[in-house]
């Protein structure tokens, strides 16, 4: 049988529900990647999630978020939120050591009031509560509530159109990066990426430890959108995090931004993830809304590699049903997808691999190729092939288990591990036999093979198209 679902599914797992049995159930229903939110998990709890994932399958990739340069309200005195009516005023004060009360709101950023101009809007808790700055003092600003609401402790603060000089990495972020290195996590998704410097700061830490962890840039503010081209040069992939992005930027602009960034990622062979409120109603209800179904389908039509569940699987009432719903939507939507034969790949560093990938996908127009197989030591060939979105399944034969998991983010690829083979003939034969064993292809089917010869670190150098039966027989050229 062939792979039914090409769009990858990412599930956020919390320590409240991370048993081996739960993870295995989600995996069987179509989950490809587990996300750990470092803002809500201790290293000890996160380690339990990692351990259970590895026991379930060596194909599950793990992604951990950093907190990134984020501003939050300080804890409230006695945990009691500050209730305000529309028109009430309140002072924000620069002191990261104090708790908030009606006499003053404090934040985790010591230069908060210095960088906010009069007239700026302060949005609390993803825009649930809005205030407008009307006066500045020494280390203070006075703001007026624009609606009835409550300022609770540790809630997000957004200031649309205002750039801050927050450091890229907090102390906690650095601790989690080292934790990720130690525990061989596949991906770090850095929050609130503003420019390439935010990514370079993490990459320096990874390089100093010779870590192969791949960086995902979370785009959730206007600076990230404006600098997307240079950001793409310094990351493995992108997550379009629509929650904060929809607060920082006018919400009517989000669909176009999502489409444009998705297209740029596809041209650059970078996996792209669409995140936030994909099936938000399923936190409380067993079925998605019609609007949510359409949202997921549109993300797939636009060319996303993966869709992500957050609260739906972290603390929702119907996590398994949410994954099943994504699976069903993906399978149905993908029936109407057409290969991107004419897409122009950008920043191609291995032109032979890119040309051979394009030719193999183009060949599916004229030849009844029913599967594509490629060898990979780095995952590069897979990202080239995936960018063209062939209608047929893509099977990766990986020489490293880590690379097999990294490809869990790339559209349309199912990866398998195989011991390194230096012979071209042995690779072709053993790969086809592996797919026979997995019942993924049949002997009479036509298969296209893309691979490299004369050493595992060389780029793709040959393309072969034939029946699976003939390819399974090792022959000398």
Which two three-digit tokens encode residue 397? 């034969």
Strand pairing category for 394-398 and 369-376? parallel
Q: Per the residue annotation, which of 6, 155, 214, 218 is the catalytic one?
A: 218
> Structure tokens of 302?
């636009």
Q: What are phi and psi of 245, to 5 degrees?
A: -60, -40
Residue 402 appears among annotated catalytic residues:
no
DSSP 8-state symbol, 459: P
Q: Are strands 413-417 and 446-451 parallel, antiparallel or unpaired?
A: unpaired
- The whole-angstrom separation of Cα 140 and Cα 88 is 16
Rounded-to-integer distance, Cα 272 and Cα 470, Å: 37
Name residue, tokens 């984020």: 70
Do residues 286 and 229 lie in contact, with contact meaning Cβ atoms separated by under 8 Å? no
Distance, in Å, from the CA atom of 291 to the CA atom of 270, rounded to the nearest integer, reads: 27
Say if CB 443 and CB 471 are below 8 A apart.
Answer: no
Residue 302: its H or E element = helix 290-302
Q: Which of 7, 276, 304, 333 is catalytic?
A: 276
d(CA 361, CA 1): 20
Residues 6+ apart with CB under 8 A from 5: 30, 327, 330, 331, 334
Q: How many other C-beta atoms are found inside a 10 Å radius of the C-beta of residue 442?
A: 15
Asked if residues 191 and 67 have their Cβ atoms less than 8 Å apart, the reply is: yes
Q: Which residues have C-beta within 8 Å of that of residue 116, sequence separation ≥ 6?
A: 92, 122, 133, 136, 141, 159, 162
Q: Helices then strands (H, E): number in the chain?
A: 16, 21
276 tagged catalytic: yes
Contact 93, 106 (CB under 8 A): yes
The CA distance from 7 to 303, in Å, is 9
Would residue 67 show up in a list of annotated catalytic residues for this protein? no
d(CA 201, CA 191): 13
Distance CA 452, CA 352 (A): 10
Task: Name the phi and psi angles at 217, rounded to 5.
Answer: -90, 120
Choose the catalytic residue: 35, 67, 269, 389.
Answer: 35
Instruction: From 27, 28, 33, 30, select the one nearest 12 (Cα to Cα).
Output: 33
Phi, psi of 290 (to 5 degrees): -65, -35
Candidates 72, 110, 142, 324; catalytic one: 72
Catalytic residues: 35, 72, 218, 276
């Amino acid at each position: 049988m062939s792979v039914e679902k090409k769009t990858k599914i990412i599930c956020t797992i919390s320590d409240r529900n991370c048993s081996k049995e739960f993870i295995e159930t989600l995996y069987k229903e179509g989950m490809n990647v587990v996300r750990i939110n470092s803002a809500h998990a201790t290293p000890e709890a996160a380690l339990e999630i990692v351990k259970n994932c590895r026991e379930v399958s060596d194909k599950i990739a793990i992604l951990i978020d950093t907190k990134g340069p984020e501003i939050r309200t300080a804890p409230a005195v006695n945990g009691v939120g500050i209730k305000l009516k529309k028109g009430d005023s309140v002072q924000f004060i620069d002191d990261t050591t104090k708790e908030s009360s009606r006499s003053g709101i404090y934040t985790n950023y010591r230069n908060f009031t210095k960088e906010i101009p009069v007239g700026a809007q302060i949005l609390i808790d993803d825009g649930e509560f809005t205030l407008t700055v009307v006066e500045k003092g020494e280390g203070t600003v006075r703001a007026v509530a624009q609606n009835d609401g409550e300022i609770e402790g540790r809630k997000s603060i957004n200031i649309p159109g205002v750039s801050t000089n927050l450091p890229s990495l907090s102390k906690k972020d650095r601790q989690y990066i080292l934790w990720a290195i130690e525990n061989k996590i596949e991906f770090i998704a850095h929050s609130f990426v503003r420019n390439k410097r935010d990514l370079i700061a993490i990459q320096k830490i990874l390089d100093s430890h010779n870590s192969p962890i791949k960086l995902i840039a979370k785009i959730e503010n206007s600076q990230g959108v404006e600098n997307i081209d240079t950001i793409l040069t310094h990351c493995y992939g992108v997550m379009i995090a629509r929650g904060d992005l929809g607060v920082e930027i006018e919400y009517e602009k989000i669909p176009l931004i999502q489409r444009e960034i998705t297209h740029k990622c596809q041209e650059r062979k970078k996996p792209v993830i669409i995140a936030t409120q994909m099936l938000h109603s399923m936190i409380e209800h067993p079925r998605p809304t019609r609007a949510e179904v359409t949202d997921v389908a549109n993300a797939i039509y636009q060319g996303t590699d993966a869709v992500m569940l957050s609260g739906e699987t972290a603390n929702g009432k119907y996590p398994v049903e949410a994954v099943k719903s994504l699976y069903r939507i993906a399978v149905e939507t993908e029936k109407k997808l057409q290969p991107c034969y004419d897409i122009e790949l950008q920043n191609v560093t291995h032109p032979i691999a890119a040309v051979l990938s394009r030719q193999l996908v183009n060949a599916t127009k004229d030849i009844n190729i029913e599967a594509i197989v490629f060898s990979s030591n780095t995952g590069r060939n897979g990202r080239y092939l995936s960018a063209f979105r062939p209608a047929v399944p893509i099977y990766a034969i990986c020489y490293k288990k880590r690379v097999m998991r990294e490809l869990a983010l790339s559209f349309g690829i199912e990866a398998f591990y195989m011991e390194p083979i230096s012979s071209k003939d042995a690779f072709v034969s053993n790969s086809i036999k592996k797919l026979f064993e997995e019942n993924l292809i049949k002997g009479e089917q036509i298969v296209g093979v893309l691979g490299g010869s004369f050493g595992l670190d060389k780029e793709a150098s040959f393309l072969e198209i034939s029946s699976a039966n003939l390819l399974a027989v090792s022959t000398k050229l």
